[in-house]
Amino acid sequence: MKYVLQYSEICDSTLGDFISLIKQPDLGKPLNELLLRDLIINSVTNELIYPGNGVYFFSDKTKLIYVGKASSKSFTERIGGHFDPRSRAWFNSLIKHKNFPNQKDDTVLEEQARYAYSTFRITLVNFDDVYAGLISKFEGLMRKSLNVINQTKGRIDVNMFEEKLEDILSI
């Protein structure tokens, strides 16, 4: 099961084609099978995920849930923080999100983290150093284009879905 995409391999895709790809239910690695090693070495190709910066997608079997970026930190440093069940933790916005019930209690956050861990999948889009400056723009484009819990307000021009990712991001 493929869970790592290289930006250099998808940048010629149109926005519409990429969205179709990222929504495929068999894309991504189930979190309950994910090992720390899988954020460093691609378990499908056995290649190093270098530099380990880019955009990641959490999904379940039916829909995309969340889009995030790892630009100042690597995937290995960023991903785990989303599932920290402490109410005082600052980076667990995924399990604290309003779409989950009552997030004020550590016990509830632990249940929500366990639920996410048992049902979510992760897909990584790794950006080589030459493309690192595009990570934030790509994440922003995905958050505007996809119906995710951290969706950004704003409209995407319908014509953009026919444009190549590299052309959209170079604007």
**CA 7/CA 37 separation, integer angstroms:** 21
User: For the residues 36-45, what does the mean pLDDT come to?
Assistant: 96
What is the separation, in whole angstroms, between the first and last Cα of the chain?
A: 33
Per-residue pLDDT reduced to its tens digit, 134-166: 999 999 999 999 999 888 888 788 899 999 999
Give residues with Cβ within 8 angstroms of 33, minimum separation 6.
none
* pTM for the predicted model, two decimal places: 0.92
pLDDT-derived band of residue 8, with 50, 70 and 90 as boundaries?
A: very high
| Average of per-residue pLDDT values in the chain | 90
Q: What are phi and psi of 145, to 5 degrees?
A: -85, -25
